[in-house]
A and B are shown apart, each in its own frame.
With several copies, the nearest count.
Chain A
Amino acid sequence: MATTTKKKIVQWDPAHVKAELLAKYPSKVARKRSKQIMINEALGNETPEIMANVRTTPGIITMRGCTYAGCKGVIMGPTRDIVNIVHGPVGCSFFAWLTRRNQTNAGTDGENYMNYCFSTDMQDSDIIFGGEKKLEKAIQEAYDLFHPRSIAVFATCPVGLIGDDIHTVTRRMKEKFGDCNVYAFSCEGYKGVSQSAGHHIANNQVFRHIVGENDEEKPGKYKINLLGEYNIGGDGFEIDRIFKKCGITNIATFSGNSTYDQFASAHKADLSAVMCHRSINYVADMLETKYGIPWIKVNFIGADATAKSLRKIAHYFGDQEFIDRVEEVIAEEMPKVLAVRTDVRTRTEGKTAMIFVGGSRAHHYQELFNEMGMRVISAGYEFGHRDDYEGRQVIPDLKVDADSRNIEELEVEADETRFNPRKSAEEIKALEDAGYKFKQYDGLAPDMENGTLIIDDLNQYEAEKLVELMKPDIFCAGIKEKYSIQKLGVPMKQLHSYDSGGPYAGFEGAINFYQEIDRLVNSKVWSYMKAPWQENPQLSATYGWE
C-alpha cells in the first residue's frame, strides 16, 4: 500500500521552500544552514552530502540539549538500580527528574531509584574551594541510606571548569565500599555539540566499568543484547513481550528498564541487535571486537519492521524450529494489527507528516506513517551524524572537528580470556552471501521520497516556516516545539517522550500509534480555530427573531 502513496506528486517546490527557509538569515548563518538542508535525491545508496553533528549557531533557537542530557538523561537515566548522583548545582538533576517517560518496574529485587532525584546541590563555596569533599560525602550518604549495587556520578558544567577530580573520588569510594561499584561520567554540558556526545561518554563508561563484570552463565538458547532501546512509554516492555513469545532471551537492554547486572552480563549474549544506531553503534562494535559478538541493525518501530527484525534475528541463529516459531508469532500478532491499520487508513491515507527527532526515530517512525498510508514530506535529526542520514559507508570520511576531538574514543581489543567469535568467518560469509547484512545501516535518506526535505538540527524559526509552506497534517518533534506548532492548527506529536502515549514499538505499539495519529489528525478541535463572528464578521441584516 505504501507504494500507492509514494506515487503522489509533491505539491511544493523543494528549492523554493529551502530558499524561503534561508531568506531571513544573516549570510554567515544562511551559508551554514544551507549545507544542513538537503533536498533528497536519494537513489539507492548515492546520497548527496549533508552537514550534520556541527555546532548550533548561538542565538538560533535550537531543539538540541546538552551532553549531560544525553549522558544522564538518555543513557543512564533508564537504569533502575543505580543511584545516579548529579554533581553540580541543583538544576541539572532537577530538570532530568522523571521527565523522559522511560518506564521501569522494580522487578523481583525491588530496586528502583527511578523516582528519585539526587544532587550535590553545589553552592558557591564549592565552586570556590572545590566540590570533591562534598561529592565524597554525598556518595557516602547515598551508600548509607540505600546500599545500592552501584552509584554513578555525573559532572555538570562547573565541575570540569573547577577541576573536581570526580574519577579519583569515585574510585576511592568504590574501593572503600567493596560491595558497590562507583564510577563517574565527565559529561559537562558544554562538551560536544549535542546530546550525542553524552551518549558516547555514557556508553564508553558503561563499557569500561560495567560490561563484563559478571561472568555467570545466563540460561537461554537465543541470547541477544538489545542496544539503543530506552523503553519510552513502555516500548521495551512490548519488545520483551514479543521476544519472550519467540523464545529470545534478552541478556541486556541498553538501557531501557535495565539493571546494573544486565550491563555486566552483556558479553554473554550471542548477538547484538541495534535499535538506535546513533546513540550506540560504537558499543556494538566494541562488543564484537572485545568479545566476538556480531551485531545487526534492527527496528521494532512499525509492525512490518518488527516482523522483519524478528526474522533477521531468527536467521542469524538459523535453527528451523526457531525460525518457525518466529513465523508463528508474526502470524499470530499481525491480524489485529492489520484490522486496526485498515480501519484507521480510511482516515489517514494520503495525509502528510514531518518528523524532527533524535537519533534514529526520525527514520524509524517513517515505517509507521507509511503503514498508515501517510507521507513523510520532511524529516531530520536533532543530533544525528552524517552516517545516520547517508549510511555507514560515509563513516571513514567523517571529519573530526574541534568539538568532536575531545569526545573519547575507547581503544578496545579482543579480551584474552573471553573473546569468542560467535560465528566463524565462514559462517559469517555464508550468511552474507545469502544476503544477510551485518552492521549495516543505510541511513534515512534512501528511505525518503525524492524531493522531500531532509534538515539537520531544525530550529524553531525553520519549523514554523516549514509548516506554513508545506502544511503537513501532523508534525513530530519534542515538547519545546509542541505548542508553537499546534498554535498553527497542526497537531504535534512528541516522539521523544510520546506525550502521554505508548508503547509504539512492536505489534501492540503499532496499533497504539495508528490510533493515536488517527485521534490527532481527526480531532474535532482543529475545526474550532475561528469563532462564528470571525468566520463571517459582517452582521446579518435580517436578524432571525422567532
Chain B
Amino acid sequence: MLLRHTPKEITERSALMINPAKTCQPIGAMYAALGIHGCLPHSHGSQGCCAYHRSTLTRHYKEPVSAATSSFTEGSSVFGGQANMLQAIENIFAVYNPVIIAAHTTCLSETIGDDLKQIRKKAITEGKIPEGKYMISASTPSYVGSHVTGFSTMVKSMAGLAENTGKKNGKVNIIPGWVEPSDMEEIKRLTKMIGVKTIMFPDTSGVLNGPLSGEYKMFPDGGTTVEELISAGDSIGTLALGEWCSAAAARELDTKNKVPCQVLDMPFGLKATDRFIDALRIIAGVSVPDELSLERGQLVDMISDMHQYLYHKKVALVGDPDQLIAMTEFLVSIDMCPIHIVTGTPGKEFERRIKEITKDMPFAVNVRAKGDMFLLHQWIKNEPVDLLIGNTYCKYIARDEDIPLVRWGFPILDRQGHQYFPTVGYKGALRLLEKILGVLLDRKDRDDPESKFELVL
C-alpha cells in the first residue's frame, strides 16, 4: 500500500494536517498574474516560495513559468524587504522589460509587515517604474485562506486598475476564476458565439498552453491586456464565475467603478452552464444561437444515452470550493451520488451549498471545508465509492483502494489534456462525461466475469 499508515478509524485532528487539499495563497496570486499579457509575477519573500510555485505550475502545464523573487536574506527579514523589492523592480524592468509587474507577498514579508502598496509608491517617486509600465500588488499571507484566496486577491488587484472615463464601452467583464487556459478559451468562444463583447480577466489561454515553434517568448501572446483591465471600469456589468475565486474582484468593480455585477457558479455541467448562457443572452439582449442550443442538446443526449452507467454511482470529490459546487451539481443532475466531498479552503458557506445541492440524494453526504485528503481517504475506507474525482494526489488513494479516478482540478502533474481541452460549458461537460464514463466502463470491462463481458455498452 502506498498510504499504508492510514487507518480506517477516524480520529479528530485539530493541529496536524495530513495530505492537504489546498496549498498557500501566493501560488494562486502567481497563476492569476500570468493571465495578464506581458506580466511578470513577483514573489516578495524568500527564493524558495517562488521556486516552488514556478515548479508546481510548470509541472501542471509543462510550460515555462517565469516569475521573479525578492530573494530575502536573513538581513532583509530583520530590516524589511523594501530594499530588495526596489532593487528587484529596477532589475526586472532592465533585464526582462515586462509591461507590468504583479507582486504578491508571502508569509515572510507579511509577518514582518512589508507594505507593497507603499513600496510601489516609493518606486514610482524614485522613478523605478518606467513610463507606461505598471505594477500591481496583492497581500497574500500564506497563513490565511488558501491558494484560492491568493488567486482571488490578485484578481481583485487587477480590478484595481480599472478606471472610469465616464463613457461605457458596451462590454461585459467576465471573471472566469481559477480555470484552465482551455476553459478560458472556451468561455471566449461561447461569449463570441452569443455575440457579447467581453473583457475577461485573468486569461491564461495562449500563455500556459503555448506552441513549440523554436522560439521562446518570455511573455507569450495571450493574456488580458492592461488596456482592457483599465477599460473594465467602463463595462456595462460584470459576470463573476465562482464566489470564492471571482466575487471579490467583481464587487470591487461595483463599489469602486459602479460596474454592477452578478456572481454565478462556474459553468461546469449542464445547469451551471445554462445559467451562465442565460445570463449572457439577457445582458446581450440577443437570442441564443441554435449552434449553442445544439451543443446543449448533444450533452443532454449523451446523458440520456449513458444514464444506466451513471445512475446512483457513488463518487468522492476533492478540490476547490467553486469547482466542487458546480461539479457536485452536475453529478447530482445526472443521477450520480457524490457522497464524500472535501476542500481544504475554509468557509462554512461551502458546506451549506453542498448540503443543499445533495439534499435529495439517496445517500447521506460527508462534506468538509478545511478538510484534507487523509480524512477523505478515511471516509472512503468507511464507505467505498465507485469513482474518485480530484487532482493527481488522488492517485495514491485510487491505487490503494482500487477506485477509478478522473483527474480534475489542481494540480494535475501526471496527465495531459487539461491545457487544451476545456471542461467548462456544454462541450466541457461532454468531455467530463466522456472521462467519467471512460473510467467506469474500463473498470466494468476489467471486472465483468467472462460470461457477462459486453461488446455493446
Contacts and interface: CB of A to CB of B under 8 A. Distances in A.
Q: Do chains A and B touch in the complex (CB under 8 A)?
A: yes
Interface of A: 24-26, 29, 55-69, 85, 88-99, 101, 103-106, 110, 112-113, 115-124, 126-127, 134-142, 144-146, 156-158, 160-162, 188-194, 234, 237, 402-403, 406, 460-461, 464, 478-480, 482-489, 491, 497, 499-501, 516, 519, 523-526, 528-534, 537, 539-540, 543-546
A126 B111 CA distance: 11
Instruction: Name the residue in A93, A104, A106, A115 with the highest tally of chain B Cβ atoms < 10 Å from its Cβ.
Output: A115
Contacts of A489: 212, 214
A533 B213 CA distance: 13
Interface in B411-457: 449-452, 454-457
Contacts of A529: 212-214, 300
Please give me the 9 A-B residue pairs with the lowest Cβ-Cβ distance, nearest first.
A66-B48, A91-B24, A59-B88, A545-B260, A59-B91, A89-B142, A137-B15, A189-B46, A95-B52
B396 interface: yes
A135 to B, nearest CB: 7
Contact of B216 (A62, A115, A464, A545): A464
A316 B53 CA distance: 46
Contacts of A162: 111
Contacts of B222: none
Contact of A122 (B25, B143, B237): B143
Contacts of A119: 16-17, 20
Nearest to A61: B68
A66 B47 contact: yes
A55 B24 contact: no
A498 to B, nearest CB: 10
Interface in B148-198: none
Nearest to B273: A531
Contacts of A478: 55
A236 to B, nearest CB: 11
Given A137-B16, A157-B106, A532-B278, A25 B73 contact: no
Range for the number of chain B residues in contact with chain A: 35 or more
Contact of A190 (B46, B63, B311): B46
B52 A91 contact: yes
B455 A59 contact: no
B77 to A, nearest CB: 4
Nearest to A460: B66
B66 A118 contact: no
Contact of B91 (A29, A117, A482): A29
Contact of B26 (A91, A121, A158): A91
A121 B15 CA distance: 8
Contacts of B14: 137, 141
Contacts of A537: 287
B57 to A, nearest CB: 9
A170 B53 CA distance: 30
B348 interface: no
Contacts of B452: 103, 234
10 contacts: A66-B46, A68-B48, A91-B52, A97-B19, A99-B55, A137-B15, A140-B15, A519-B308, A531-B293, A546-B262
Contacts of A160: 77
A534 B111 CA distance: 53
Nearest to B292: A531
Contacts of B22: 90, 94
Interface in B1-59: 2-5, 7, 11, 13-20, 22-27, 42, 45-49, 51-56, 58-59
B142 A90 contact: yes
B122 to A, nearest CB: 15
A67 B48 contact: yes
Given A113-B5, A529-B300, A58 B85 contact: yes
B217 to A, nearest CB: 8
B144 to A, nearest CB: 5
A121 B216 contact: no
Contacts of A91: 23-27, 49, 52, 107, 142, 147
Contact of A57 (B63, B71, B277): B71
